[in-house]
Structure 1
C-alpha cells in the first residue's frame, strides 16, 4: 500500500462518518448520502495534492465538495422529474393470442391422429419421455414406438397443412 493510499485511508477514517451525517441532514436520504460521500472521497483520491494539506484544510475541502455535489443533485433534472415509488410498475406482457391460437390448432390436429399415434406424440413432445420410457409405459417394443412417432408426426404435419399451417 502506497503513501497516497494510506493517506486516503486516514482521511476516510477521520472524515467519512461526519461527511455522511452532514449529507444525510442536507438530503434526508441515506442512500444518496452514501453516494455523495463515496463521490467526495473519490474526488479526493483523484486530487492527492489536497490530502497533503492540513487536517482542517482537508476537512473544509471535503465538506465543500460534498455540499456542491448535494446542490448539483438537488438542481438536477433527474431529481425534479423522477420520483421514487414504493411499488413496481406492471410488467410488460407480450400478446399471447397467437400462441393460444397455435395451441388450439395443434390440439385440434392431435385429435385427428389415431389413439396409438397420439399417445406416442403427446408422450414424447409434451410429456418429455424417451422412446424407451414410452415403450415400457405402452407395453410395446421400442421399434414400434419409433414407427408410431414417425407416422404420427407425419399425420400431424398433414393435418396442420389441411388447416392452412405452412412449414
Structure 2
C-alpha cells in the first residue's frame, strides 16, 4: 500500500496542488489507506476494486475537508471510518446495486424460433384465400412482390386505375377477413 491510487491523484491535481499539498496527500494516504481498506474489506467481504474505490472516495472527502486534516490522526481516522461506512451503506442501497445480480456465466441469448412468423403467414394465407382472385393477384403483386402500380398494370394487362381500385377493395376485403379471424390491428 505504498502507492497512491492514480484516480485520487488526478482528481486532486485538478486543483492547483503545491508540493506541500502533495506531501500532505501522500502522508494522508500512507497513514490511513491501509486501515480504512481493512475496515471496508471486513464489512463487505470484497477485496476487489470496490474496496479501493471506497478508500479513494473517503480520502478524497477528507482532503476536501481541511478541518479533518488538522485534527489528531486518531480523531480524523475515526471520521474517515465513519465516512467509509456510510459510502458502503450508500452503495448497498443504491438502485444500481439492487438491480445488478452478478453471475458466473452469461445466460444464453433467446433465439427467435420463427413460430410467430409461421402462424402469421398461415393466417394471412387463409385470409387471402377469402379475397376474390382479381383482388388477391393485385395485392400479392404489389405487396409481396414489391411491384409498382405501373408494373402491376403491365404485368396483368389492365389499366393503372383498375389496379388502384382493385388494390383498394382488395386490401379492404383482406382487412375484414383478418378481423373475422381475430386480428384486431
Please give the TM-score of this superposition, normalised by the length of structure 1: 0.49
